[in-house]
Amino acid sequence: MKTIIIGSGSYLPKNIVKNEDFLKNEFYDTSGNKIPKTNDEIIKKFEEITGIKERRYMEDEYKSSNIASIAAQRAIESAGIDKEKLDYIIVAHNFGDLQNGTRVPDLVPALSSRVKYHLGIENPYCVSYDILFGCPGWLQATIQADYFLKSGRSKYALVIGVENLSRVSDPHDIDSMIYSDGAGAVIIKAEKSDKEIGIIDHISRSDTKNYAWMLKMDKSYKEGAYEGDLFLKMNGRRIYEYAVNTVPGEIKKVLDRNNIDIHQVKKVLLHQANEKMDIAMIQRVFKLYGIKEVPKDVMPMIIAKTGNNSVATLPIMYDMINKGELEGHKFNSGDYIVFASVGAGLNVNVLLYQVP
């Protein structure tokens, strides 16, 4: 049994927030001291490192379950299937539904249940559940769906990645400029085939002993601000080092055990939190094979316009390429694609896919 992606959909909020929109923010360091540099200097350095020029914030009237449902509906339409035939709806996220103006996660019922409700699916054997796995959540959900479908008892799975980081970002933290919102979804189908197509292999790891708290929830960097509220905080430097030293080796491990030469890989879709980090990771991958020059079109980048929308990044990027919306990139039958992500946990996963 093979598992293939037969449809995709995504939703990027219409609210575009540019870097200059942060000029009025007051930025503080981890010790609670006001950063002495001007915001012009801070923003210029931020853009130089991350590559982010703008990001998307969810509309006030929406929550994660709303935009996840929109992306899901588009994926169903793209696949051309009857929604009642779905066996699974798996939603990856990290903060549930957050009402505009509050930072209290709303997790009951699960986002997957809300999505199934919004889609109007009546089939009681369409099982819906959520997964929390940091930024690699959507890819981990896809890995789970692959196991379910290859068991031979199910045929279709809807896998969604949705995130709303704008409502958990501390406006006094420079890292708040990284965070963004969005949703992406794919339909995965089990299909009998003698060809080696679709999801070929995958690997996951969780390094909690030394890295569990590299991303965490904590108070605002500005003393006395937003008393009682918690915001997303990260140790960017250590995450950068971990990602560059860990992800490339896992990609090579998956390729090597399937006898796939790096030159056969046409696209490497990396979770995008930092352009400089992604460039370092892809360079390290090719360096592991003794190759100095990275093919210019092998790693699509969307972070400049979308920012870091966590679990939504990979399915959004896949959907854009799948529908010809990312200039200079397309999928061709027979292409090998590598998906890879790293995030809170710290968790890492890699998936090898061949386009049918």
Per-residue burial over 251-273, b = 16 or more CB atoms within 10 Å of its CB, e = otherwise: bbebbeeeebebeebbbbbbbbb
Question: What is residue 224's predicted lDDT score, i.e. its pLDDT?
Answer: 85
Q: Give me the average pLDDT of each 10-residue run along the chain (356 residues).
A: 96 96 93 92 93 95 96 98 97 92 86 98 97 97 96 94 95 95 98 90 96 93 89 93 96 97 95 93 96 93 95 97 94 96 96 96
Q: How many CB atoms lie within 10 A of CB 355?
A: 18
Can you tell me the distance from the alpha carbon of 109 to that of 64, in angstroms, rounded to the nearest whole number? 13
What one-character-per-residue DSSP string does 73-121 give?
HHHHHHHT--GGG--EEEEE-SS-B--TT----B-SS-HHHHHHHHHT-
Cβ neighbours of residue 93 closer than 8 Å, sequence gap 6 or more: 64, 68, 111, 130, 132, 137, 161, 162, 163, 164, 311
Question: What is residue 94's predicted lDDT score, i.e. its pLDDT?
Answer: 95
Can you tell me the distance from the alpha carbon of 150 to that of 236, in angstroms, rounded to the nearest whole number? 38
> Looking at domain 2-191, which of 3.30.70.20, 3.40.50.10190, 3.40.47.10, 3.10.20.590 is its CATH number?
3.40.47.10
Q: Dihedral sign, CA of 73, 177, 132, 218? A: negative
Question: What is residue 193's predicted lDDT score, i.e. its pLDDT?
Answer: 85
Measure Cα distances from 101 to 63, 167, 205, 313, 346 in Å: 11, 8, 35, 24, 29
Strands 265-270 and 336-343 turn out to be parallel
- Bridge partners of 255, per DSSP, are none
Question: What is residue 23's predicted lDDT score, i.e. its pLDDT?
Answer: 93
- Bridge partners of 205, per DSSP, are 348
DSSP 308: B
Contact 87, 154 (CB under 8 A): yes
CATH superfamily of 198-354: Thiolase/Chalcone synthase (3.40.47.10)
Can you tell me the distance from the alpha carbon of 169 to that of 341, in angstroms, rounded to the nearest whole number? 21
DSSP 34: B
Measure Cα distances from 324 to 328, 341, 356 in Å: 9, 23, 17
Q: Kindly list the domain boundaries of the chain, sorted by start residue.
A: 2-191, 198-354
The alpha-helical segments, DSSP class H, found in the chain are 39-50, 64-79, 111-119, 137-150, 208-211, 236-257, 275-287, 303-306, 313-322
Question: What is residue 131's predicted lDDT score, i.e. its pLDDT?
Answer: 97
Can you tell me the distance from the alpha carbon of 294 to that of 230, in angstroms, rounded to the nearest whole number? 40
Can you tell me the distance from the alpha carbon of 13 to that of 58, in angstroms, rounded to the nearest whole number? 5
